[in-house]
Amino acid sequence: MCGRFVHKLPPEELATIVGAEGPVPNIPARYNAAPTQDLAVVRFNPKTGRRAIDLLRWGLVPSWEKDLKGGAKLINARSETLAERRSFAKAFQARRCLVPADGFYEWAPDRTPHFVRRLDGRPMLFAGLWEGWKDPQSEEWVRTFTIVTADAIERLRPIHHRMPVMLEPEQWPAWLGEDAASPAQLQALLTPPADLPVEAYPVSVRVNAVRNDDPTLMDRAAHQEPAMNAASSAASPGSATSRGTLF
């Protein structure tokens, strides 16, 4: 599950990292990014042959939905069923994207919020899907996205049994559609490596409220459970339930 994340990287720096060209939108720092907000997404435009950074609404809305409310529930897409589920199948084939983040929040079974970040300091680029939805009344197009999730690596399982899929630079061309890739090859990109360099630590319950959006949300809480960062920690996959998310 991924229901909140951090995006604080300056737009120009993000554009350099992902190799995006063209105008970069004004992207305010988000320390508690939440569903239904407009957030930065990296897409490849086959017509121009370039990558671009755009602001899309978090929560994928399939083209056949009558209103935007349905997208509030589709903030995540299970990697195992992308090609089968009607809501995601076409996007998986042709509308894949990257969602930049500096870390994400997850809630343990006891409802303690944790912040997950890379140990090497690099930003995370989540695998995502995007879709276009046309308002039947105004006839305006709304672009929305979802974040792809997979089984959590062992280090993170004490917190939650799912995690967003993070893609490395060498995987971006295939996922964005710049390089040809079969469904099987795309699916192979969605298994997180066991040695993924991440850590998780407890943070303040202030993150539970969307109205709180400041850098202190990432600060380590006074009391930390060492087991959360031990690679040898044991937990039963699937035993944890989603906590602290909006839905």
What residues are annotated to the active site? 2, 106
Sign of CA dihedral 194, 197, 115, 41: negative
Distance of CA 30 to the CA centre of its chain: 13
**In 10 A of CB 50, how many CB atoms?**
14
Residue 104 near residue 6, CB atoms below 8 Å: yes
For residue 85, what are the CA distances in angstroms to 59, 79, 148? Answer: 16, 10, 13
